[in-house]
């Protein structure tokens, strides 16, 4: 259905050999920020879930599941901080898979509504879309200084950025539904959001695979942990 690194400084090397190491989120500042973003997404899920049910909207349904998935996967990201490359990459793969599943779900809902659905309530869609945009804008402002990092960290930023775009698209959908009196704008946006989710899933999984391949030959993935200098700076 509907689709992450720290400051602008380059990632530092922790081994002194010149090889860049991406920020892995191991700082108190990032942990606090991510915890706040999780709370924002939990509140967003409750509000938009109720609105989605009342408005009977595919676009809002995508938004609802997105808030829920974000809260769950960001909690997973928080848990994975400071753990091995294998664990952090595994968390990124799980988030990638959840995005792909949501894309399939919203695409199926859009097709089903194309055959059986009635026109949704445009005003409710726009209002809740703007609410979602405000929630994700707040989350994005909190995360913007952590927009570069490993796959686990970067996935949080990518999801939040995409969610902001998504919510603005949902709000515009409500206007289009109101003006045209048709359900098709809602369905079209649902399909487009599915494409955004799939693209983000691919980006996250691709970076996670690269990070796993970058582990030195012979290293024990279960115990191989890397920390950038940013981990100490962002406290």
Q: pLDDT digits over 104-146, tens only?
A: 877 777 777 667 665 566 777 788 888 889 999 999 999 998 8
The Cα–Cα gap between 69 and 168 comes to 19
Tokens 């928080």 belong to residue? 78
How far apart, in Å, are the Cα atoms of 48 and each of 3, 107, 183? Answer: 17, 19, 19
Q: How confident is the model at residue 40 (pLDDT cuts 50, 70, 90)?
A: very high
Q: pLDDT digits over 45-79, tens only?
A: 888 888 777 777 766 776 787 788 788 888 888 88
pTM assigned to the model = 0.66
Lowest pLDDT segment from 18-27, 29-38, 73-82: 18-27
- Average per-residue pLDDT in the chain? 75
The domain spans of the chain are 28-214
**Average pLDDT, integer, range 88-95:** 80
The Cα–Cα gap between 81 and 88 comes to 7
Q: How confident is the model at residue 39 (pLDDT cuts 50, 70, 90)?
A: very high
Q: How confident is the model at residue 152 (pLDDT cuts 50, 70, 90)?
A: confident
- Position 230 scores a pLDDT of 44
How far apart, in Å, are the Cα atoms of 152 and each of 20, 25, 194? Answer: 16, 8, 21
């Amino acid at each position: 259905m509907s689709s992450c690194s720290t400051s602008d400084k380059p990632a530092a090397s922790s081994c002194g050999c010149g090889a860049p190491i991406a920020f892995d989120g191991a700082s108190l500042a990032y942990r606090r920020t991510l915890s706040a973003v999780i709370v924002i997404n939990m509140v967003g899920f409750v509000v938009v879930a109720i609105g989605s049910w009342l408005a009977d909207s595919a676009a809002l349904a995508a938004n609802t599941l997105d808030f829920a998935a974000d809260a769950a996967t960001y909690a997973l990201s928080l848990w994975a901080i400071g753990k091995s490359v294998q664990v952090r990459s595994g968390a990124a793969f799980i988030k990638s898979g959840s995005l792909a599943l949501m894309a399939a779900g919203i695409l199926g809902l859009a097709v089903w509504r194309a055959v059986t659905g009635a026109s949704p309530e445009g005003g409710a869609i726009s209002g809740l879309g703007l609410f979602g945009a405000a929630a994700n804008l707040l989350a994005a402002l909190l995360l913007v200084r952590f927009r570069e990092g490993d796959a686990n960290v970067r996935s949080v930023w990518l999801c939040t950025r995409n969610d902001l775009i998504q919510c603005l698209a949902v709000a515009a959908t409500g206007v289009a539904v109101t003006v045209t009196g048709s359900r098709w704008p809602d369905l079209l946006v649902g399909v487009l959001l599915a494409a955004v989710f799939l693209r983000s899933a691919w980006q996250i999984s691709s970076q996670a695979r690269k990070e796993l391949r970058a582990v030195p030959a012979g290293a024990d993935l279960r115990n191989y942990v890397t920390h950038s200098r940013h981990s100490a700076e962002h406290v």
